[in-house]
């Protein structure tokens, strides 16, 4: 049996498995073990919709990430490339110097973007490498 056909088979049995009684579930599991040649525990997990290695989605704590904004990333990347790819701590140190000259070379920056640059910690500059 191909993996795709096994997937379709489990999708068909999944709905009936959830609403059936214990005796009916035993019959369904036995059938799955014979048809797909799975162990009982694996068949049970597949029928329950068990997914391994999934983390629960939780809301992130702390301040929201500032460098996710496209306008900030574009300007930051231009300065980073022009400054010959400094590390994040050096970039934080030279950023006020480069921001004053940025308007001459690339165009006028909004005041909120300049404030965001000066507020970002060096740990947040890691987003440039991804």
So what's the pLDDT on residue 130?
A: 46
Model pLDDT, residue 65: 62
pLDDT less than 50: residues of the chain? 129-130
Domain that holds residue 116: 70-129
Q: Are residues 91 and 40 in the same domain?
A: no
pLDDT score of 30: 92
Reference 120, options 61, 73, 57; nearest CA is 73
In a domain, 63, yes or no: no
> What's the confidence (pLDDT) of residue 40?
92
- Length of the chain equals 130
Give me 86's structure tokens: 């400094």
Q: Are residues 112 and 75 in the same domain?
A: yes
pTM of the model: 0.43
């Amino acid at each position: 049996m191909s993996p795709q056909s096994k997937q379709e088979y489990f999708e068909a049995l999944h709905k009936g498995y959830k609403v059936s009684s214990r005796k009916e579930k035993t019959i369904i599991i036995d059938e799955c073990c014979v048809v797909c040649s799975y162990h009982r525990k694996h068949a049970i997990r597949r029928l329950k919709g068990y997914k391994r290695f999934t983390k629960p989605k939780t809301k992130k704590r702390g301040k929201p990430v500032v460098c996710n904004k496209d306008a900030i990333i574009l300007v930051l990347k231009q300065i980073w490339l022009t400054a010959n790819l400094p590390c994040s701590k050096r970039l934080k140190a030279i950023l006020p110097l480069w921001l004053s000259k940025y308007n001459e070379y690339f165009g006028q920056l909004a005041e909120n973007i300049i404030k965001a640059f000066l507020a970002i910690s060096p740990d947040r500059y890691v987003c440039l490498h991804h």
